Structure 1
Amino acid sequence: MADEVPPWAARIRDERRSRQWSQRDMAKRLMEVATEETRRSLPLRESIVRNIGNWEAGKHEPKDPYRVLYARAFEIAEDRLFNDSYKRSRKTPEEILARVLPEGDPKALLTIGTGRRIGMGDVTDLSARVHGLRLADDVLAGGDLIGPAFRELDTAVQLYRETVHSEEVGRSLLVSIGEFAQIAGWVASDAGRHEQAAQAYRLGISATREAGDAALESYLLGSLAYQVTNTGDPGEGAELARATLEAVERHPSPGVRALAWDRLAWAHTRVGEAQAAIRALGEASTAFTVGSQDDDPAYVYWMNTGELQIMEARVYTELGRPLRAVPLLVDVLGRYNATHTRELALYLSWLAVALADGGEPEEAVRATWRMLNLSGEVVSDRLAQRSHVILEHLQPYRDLPEVRELLTHHPMPPNSK
């Protein structure tokens, strides 16, 4: 896909990423290179971070003194940095993975050893166990599942390493390792263990490449892209999401293709590329209607039109269009499976934010109370982060009695604004 941002926006974004600076790091650098007099006139760092996101998305061009500060921070002449001749060099998925994943060769874990001979029956047992973990993840949070998930992953790796098996069985074992790695990584990410999640994803990507399973590799790449988009550099998440899509663009599974487009839509949203995000949402919806769900692998059993609506609503909320998000969320939440407590609470958090941003603070408070009551016993880092986001969006209404009561019972964390 072509990069739609102006050359200068791509340049300042790529220069930042090449130095492995987050947008917060970039704001810090801009403040550090400013003169004392200029620094006194700069806004708070959080405001600069928001500006950086807008500049890198090409929404508007930095003005003085920021052009000069950028040139100093990058040690590049201002006229060269902001000219129109810059052309991006596209990185391969391997180069992106090398940047965002820990060092080490996961294939070392997959060396075949010697021992008892196993057959496809053993692999079938593994498939049943990994699907059981997925179903458990529907009703339990990462903090509850992280131990069992990684024990199952370790068991699958040991089975591959310490047994004798045919080439066909070996390939199926590698696929099982990939599936266990995906759910283990997802669980670890939900528990806030992002480094551990990245290690699991990396192992799974290596195993699925060895097995030649492009769809499962895409699923793992997409899971990693989602984590990087949310907790790291959204631009790198977008690069991984593009790699995810390229791996399965012609795959027969509508669920696999739709999910890849959804991951890309969310990454575009977090980068601030609104038109690209909305176009990707449309592609996800189209992909889900083309082909037969009989071609969907078991691991995308949860993909349905409701999940597509949820992502659409999240994108609109993040892009500042809450009035488009609220009806979608109300529709889905009205028929959502109440036993899926974490997801229900997460989606209620998006409804609360959309209502607050749409000027309906009383309704936002009602959704927030429901979300907090549901999530009280759920050990999920994702839910904890979303709780903080809701409270931030309710701050402008803190003089209302309903909001004041909520904030009294659930105050903002000390390190929040």
Structure 2
Amino acid sequence: MVSTGAVPNLAFRRLRGPRSAGEFAAAVRRSAREIGEQVACDARYIGRVESGEIRCPNYAYERVFLHMFPGATLADLGFSSRETVRGRGARATAEIPDTPLPPTLHSDTDEESDVLRRVFMTSGTAAMAAASLGFGLGTAATAVPAQRPAQRRVGEAEVTAVEKAVRQIRLLDDRHGGDGLYRRAAQPLRAAYALLDEGTTTRRSTSDRLHAGAGELAISVGWLAHDSGRFEDARSHYAEALATARLAGDAALEAHAFCNASFLARDTGRPRESVRVAEAGQRAATPLGSPRLLALLALREAGGRAGLGDRSGCERALGRAHEAFGRGTRDADPEWMTFFREAELEMLEAQCWSALGDWPRAARHARRATQLQDPHFTRNLALYRAELTTDLAHAGAAAEAAATGHQVLDLLDRVQSSRIRAMLSGAVRVLGAQRGSPEVAGLLERCGEMGVQGHTAG
């Protein structure tokens, strides 16, 4: 719905010329690919711009539009300045212009899909340490590789910078997905391991925190690689984290590395490895006193067993997962497990049943996941709906699958995840056989406009 008082952007409309909104959206996507951007532009987005609902594009679209119309400014294209649109919020961060502003589900200017320009550190000694160690991301155009620090003592500021980088990467991933973050996140990872290689610490507790922080950073960067389809990179990062855990004798880090490695093995068609790695993770996690961690690792095992077609083994692992999850939270639960709520439990169980071909049962759990999901986890909003679209398509519920597919497309401007796009493409391929349905036909047409592969022209 157009915002009250919106002023139509006539300048942008003139630039479109005789092309339809869909044709112009396709031109935008082509221009994005020319400069290495990925935008989910469709006719509806163009309509929102021309109606004045979108008063200022996010940074990714800004670069694309300025590439399409060399020499033009945002004002020439009919847009308001970002400062005017943000108003008071922009003034509040004037002293720290790159501070990440929390995206909302209904904001085009604040959601900032161009996460590459964000800095991970924004205040205090951690910011100073981050700057000296290369943690600041800067802009896509000016970012430079991290420099290896000279021999130096590592203290609270440096360790805090590593830990804060981990938290910021996870926060941005929850909102935006891994595609746009991966290459920039590799920079603080290199700096963290340079500290391990060349820094010296005066306290054992500082050394332990640095090892744990570097290992968690490796897992976070590995997950970004995983989510963006760079599977060999992900495998390497997870192995690096596991080696760090073994070196430091850190069972919690070891369990986390095994957890992610099991997930990767499942996603890359190695279910037997997925089971073995999940079992190793459970052995590492048992002494830690976190039932929720054991529940997640049991779900990883269940996913691997489902991939093997082992229904009874999968059901046993699911039973252990539910039992452990039902024991509630503990102080010993790892910080990185904030995403693991009932919605994620339902989602992972849905994936088990889909792997076993029980599509109606999978759809029931995926639907439950979408109903329970916290709206702040934007990436998971898209992920769970992509899973539900797939399960409904296979279960023969074409109209509902198409409606859910539209919800996924609505989120693709905010979430850059090759994994989610691949899931939606798989659902679209299944729905292609039911294009006689008007609901399905509408989804296929919109997928074509947005460059989501899997549809069949007709």
Q: TM-score, normalised by structure 1?
A: 0.68
Amino acid corresponding to residue 238 of structure 1 in structure 2: V
| Secondary structure of residue in 2 paired with 1:320 | coil
Do structure 1's residue 318 and structure 2's residue 361 form an aligned pair? Answer: no
- State the shift of 1:252 in Å: 0.4
Q: Which moved more, 1:196-205 or 1:125-134?
A: 125-134
Contact 2:382-2:415 at 8 Å conserved across structures: no
Do structure 1's residue 133 and structure 2's residue 191 form an aligned pair? Answer: no
Cα distance in 2 for residues equivalent to 1:335 and 1:305: 7
Q: Deviations over 1:239-266 (max 9, x none)?
A: 2222222222343012221111111111
Cα distance in 2 for residues equivalent to 1:367 and 1:205: 38
| Secondary structure of residue in 2 paired with 1:117 | strand
Contact 1:265-1:276 at 8 Å conserved across structures: yes
Contact 1:114-1:164 at 8 Å conserved across structures: no
Contact 2:429-2:454 at 8 Å conserved across structures: no
Amino acid corresponding to residue 326 of structure 2 in structure 1: T
Cα distance in 2 for residues equivalent to 1:344 and 1:233: 27
Contact 2:298-2:321 at 8 Å conserved across structures: yes
Q: Paired residue for 2:381?
A: 344
Do structure 1's residue 122 and structure 2's residue 158 form an aligned pair? Answer: yes
Contact 2:175-2:415 at 8 Å conserved across structures: no
Contact 1:258-1:287 at 8 Å conserved across structures: yes
Q: Deviations over 1:59-111 (max 9, x none)?
A: xxxxxxxxxxxxxxxxxxxxxxxxxxxxxxxxxxxxxxxxxxxxxxxxxxxxx
Q: Paired residue for 1:66?
A: none
| Secondary structure of residue in 2 paired with 1:143 | coil
Amino acid corresponding to residue 374 of structure 2 in structure 1: N
* Residue from 195, 198, 215 that aligns with 2:235: 198
Q: Paired residue for 1:20?
A: none
Q: Which moved more, 1:375-384 or 1:270-279?
A: 375-384
* Residue from 297, 305, 312 that aligns with 1:275: 312
Contact 2:359-2:394 at 8 Å conserved across structures: yes
Contact 1:113-1:161 at 8 Å conserved across structures: no
- Where structure 2 has 5 or more consecutive residues not aligned to the other structure, the ranges are 1-147
- State the shift of 1:208 in Å: 0.9
Q: Paired residue for 2:282?
A: 245
Do structure 1's residue 363 and structure 2's residue 391 form an aligned pair? Answer: no
Q: CA RMSD in A?
A: 2.5
Q: Paired residue for 2:443?
A: 406
Change over 3 Å in CA distance of 1:228–1:328 after alignment to 2: closer
- State the shift of 1:345 in Å: 1.1
Change over 3 Å in CA distance of 1:377–1:117 after alignment to 2: closer
Cα distance in 2 for residues equivalent to 1:379 and 1:307: 20
Cα distance in 2 for residues equivalent to 1:377 and 1:305: 24
- Where structure 1 has 5 or more consecutive residues not aligned to the other structure, the ranges are 1-111
* Residue from 311, 314, 331 that aligns with 2:368: 331
Change over 3 Å in CA distance of 1:363–1:155 after alignment to 2: same
- State the shift of 1:272 in Å: 1.4
Contact 2:390-2:423 at 8 Å conserved across structures: no
Do structure 1's residue 142 and structure 2's residue 182 form an aligned pair? Answer: no
Amino acid corresponding to residue 230 of structure 1 in structure 2: D
Contact 1:215-1:256 at 8 Å conserved across structures: no
Change over 3 Å in CA distance of 1:322–1:350 after alignment to 2: same
- State the shift of 1:207 in Å: 0.6
Which runs of structure 2 are paired with 1:72-83 in the superposition (5 Å)? none
Q: TM-score, normalised by structure 2?
A: 0.62
Cα distance in 1 for residues equivalent to 2:351 and 2:367: 12
Q: Deviations over 1:326-346 (max 9, x none)?
A: 333333322423342321111
- State the shift of 1:221 in Å: 1.5
Q: Paired residue for 1:228?
A: 265
